[in-house]
Structures are given as structure tokens and as C-alpha cells.
Amino acid sequence: MLEIDRMLRPGGRVYIRDSVSVISKLHEIASAIDWVPALHDTGGGPYAS
């Protein structure tokens, strides 16, 4: 995630689709590096489009 942080421009966005357990860990990391994480449930599971 630090490598992604280096590539993103200010105000940039990244979308990550994975299992709930992975997303919850990434949410903690995102908060630690001063990102503003937002979680959205598609209702169709982690791989729904």
C-alpha cells in the first residue's frame, strides 16, 4: 500500500475488491497512512461487478 501511496496523486483513488477479512486489514493500514478509507458492500459478494 505504501507503493500505491507513492504513485497516487493527491486526491487519487484506489479500488480494492477482496474478501472481508483482507479488506478489514487493509482498512487499518489505510487509516495508518492517512488515507480516508470507505467501504461499500455491493450485495453480490466481493467479486460482483
Q: How confident is the model at residue 3 (pLDDT cuts 50, 70, 90)?
A: confident
Rg for the chain, CA atoms, rounded: 11
30: how many CB neighbours lie within 10 A of its CB? Answer: 19
pLDDT in tens, 27-38: 999 999 989 999
State the Cα angle at 31 between 41 and 18, rounded to 5°: 35
What pLDDT, on the 0 to 100 scale, is given for residue 46? 62
| For the chain, domain boundaries | 2-32
Taking residues 16-21, report their average pLDDT: 86
- Which residue matches cell numbers 487499518? 28
